[in-house]
Amino acid sequence: MASVSFHHGTRVFQSAETPVLVRTARTAVIGLIGTAEEADAAKFPLNKPVMILQPQDADGLGSDGTLAEAIDSIFDQVGCPIVMVRVEEGATAPETWANMVGDQTAFSGVHAFRRAVSDGLYKPKLLIAPGFTQTSPADGIASIAVTAGGTGYVDATTVVAISGTGGAGAEAKAVIEAGVITSILVTKPGYGFTGTITVTITGAGTGATATATKGATINPVVAELMGVADSLKAIAYVDGPDTTDQAAVQYRGRINSGRIFVCDPKVLKFDTELAVNVPQPSSPIWAARQARMDLEQGFWWAGSNVEVAGIVGINRPIEYGGQSNYLNENRVNTIVNINNTGFRLWGVWTCDSDLLWQFVSVRRTADAINEALEAAYIEFVDRPFTKANLKFLIEAGRAYLRTMELEGAILPGSDVWLLDSNTNEELAQGIVKLGVKFEPPTPMVDVRITSHRNLAAYELLLDQVAQEMSSGSLAA
C-alpha cells in the first residue's frame, strides 16, 4: 500500500497488481493505395490515409484513376473498413511508381499506411495497390558482382550506392567477412537505369569495387510493400502480369516474402460508362474476400474456394486441374470455375520459400496472436517484480491462448511460461523472458481419396436373393 498522510478511519486503495485481458485486434481492414486525379483534394489529400467505412464515404473521389473502381470491387464482396491513400498520378509509369513508393521519413506513398494508427484510424492488415504491381521493370538492378573485396570494412559504416542515368530506387547491402566485402545483396532493385551503372562503396575500408547488371526485377511498388507489410504485420495482395501462366510464375519467382500474395489473372467487370466488359485487377477482390472470411469465420480461415461477386468473368481462362495446379504449385493464386458452379478464388499461398510460412492463413494467425500478446503485455511494463504480477503475466497469456484453442484459431497444446534462461542479473535489470508456443491450423489443400473395388458385394447380392426367395418375396 502507498504511504499516505495521517487519517483516523478506513480507506480503500485499488491494487495495481491486477489481471490483464488479452484482445485480438481487428484484422479485416484493407489498406488501399492508388490514384484519383479528379478527387476533392480537401476531402482526399495526397499521401494522407483516409477512412472509408461505406460506399458513400468515397463521394467526391471521382471516377478516374484506380481508387474508385477498387472501392467498388471491395464493397461488392464485403463491408469493411478501408484505409485509403491517394497519390499523384505521374506522366509516366516510373513517375507514378515513385509516388507510390513514397518516402519513409515523410510517410508518403505506401508508407502512409504506417501513420494510420497515429492518425486515429484502424491499422491496415490487407494491403493492395491495384493497377501498379502487375509489370516488372526490365531496367532495374538484377545483381551486383564484387570485383575486389578490399580491406578494413565494417558493417556499421559501409554504404553501397548505385547511380545511373534515369535510374531510381535501387538499394544494396554489403556482406563483410573479416573486413573484406565478399558479396553485395540487392535489397531494392529500382528501375529506369540506362547507360553505365556505377556502384560506389564507402566506409572505413578501402579498395572494394563492384559492377552492377541490369535486368528484369521485382516491381518497385511490390518491393516497397514488403517492408511496409512487415512493419504492420500485414499481407500485401499484388496482381500478376495477366498474360500467360509462365509469365505469372516468372513474376512470382522474383519474390521471396511471406508478406506477398500474388493474384493472377484479372477479372472482367461491366463498365457502365463504356457499356462493355473491361479487365480489372483481382487484388481488391482477394483482399475483400479475406476480410469477409475474417468477419464471418475468423482470421485463421483462408479466403480461398469461395465465390466471387460483382464480376462477369476472368480476363483469361484458367482450367481447374493441370493449369490451376501449375499456378498454385508455383505459389500463384488464381480464379477457377469448377464444373460450371461459378467463379471462385483458388489459392492460399504466400511467396515465402520457407514451407512453414507458405500458407497465408498461418502467417496471419501467427501475426494476430503475436500482436495481441504484445499489446496486452504493454500493461505489465514498469510494474514491479512481484509474485502477483509474474503470475498475472503468465496467466493472461495462457487464458488468451485457451480461448483461441476453443475458437479453433490454434491447435491444442499452446502455453506461456517463464524461460529457464532468466538470470538474476537480467531480472535485476528489469528484463524478464517468456516462452510462448502455439500452432496455427494449416488449410487442407490436398484431400486424397483412395477408392477400392469391393468384390464381396457379389456375395452380399447372392445372400439377399437367396433370402428373398426363401421368404417368397422375390418377384417371378
Encode 357-381: b = buried (16+ Cβ within 10 Å), e = exposed.
bbbbbbbbbbbbbebbbeebbebee
pLDDT at 97: 93
Instruction: Quickly state the pLDDT bin for 10 (edges 50, 70, 90).
Output: low
> Where do the structural domains in the chain lie, given as residue ranges?
30-134+221-357, 140-217
- The fold of 30-134+221-357 is Rossmann fold (3.40.50)
Instruction: Quickly state the pLDDT bin for 6 (edges 50, 70, 90).
Output: low
Q: Is 452 exposed, middle or buried (0-12, 13-18, 19+ CB in 10 A)?
A: exposed
- Rounded Cα distance, 350 and 371, in Å: 20
Residue 251, C-beta contacts closer than 8 angstroms, at least 6 positions apart: 136, 240, 241, 262, 264, 332
Q: Is 389 exposed, middle or buried (0-12, 13-18, 19+ CB in 10 A)?
A: middle
pLDDT at 19 over 80: no
Q: What is the pLDDT of residues 205-255, one digit of tens each?
A: 999 999 999 888 899 999 999 999 999 999 999 999 999 999 999 999 999
pLDDT at 104 over 60: yes
Helices (H), 24-151: 67-77, 93-101
- Rounded Cα distance, 209 and 150, in Å: 8
Instruction: Quickly state the pLDDT bin for 9 (edges 50, 70, 90).
Output: low
pLDDT at 476 over 60: no
- Cα(first)–Cα(last) distance of the chain, in Å? 97
Average pLDDT, the chain: 92
C-alpha cell at 469: 426367395
C-alpha cell at 400: 488468451
Q: What is the pLDDT of residues 290-341, one digit of tens each?
A: 999 999 999 999 999 999 999 999 999 999 999 999 999 999 999 999 999 9
pLDDT at 384 over 60: yes
pTM score, two decimals?
Answer: 0.87
Residues in the chain: 476
pLDDT at 188: 86
pLDDT at 185: 93
Instruction: Quickly state the pLDDT bin for 137 (edges 50, 70, 90).
Output: confident
Question: What is the C-alpha radius of gyration for the chain, rounded to an integer number of angstroms?
Answer: 28
Q: What is the pLDDT of residues 390-419, one digit of tens each?
A: 999 999 999 999 999 999 999 999 999 999
Q: What is the pLDDT of residues 37-60, one digit of tens each?
A: 999 999 999 999 999 999 999 999
Indicate the residue type of 42.
A
pLDDT at 24 over 80: no
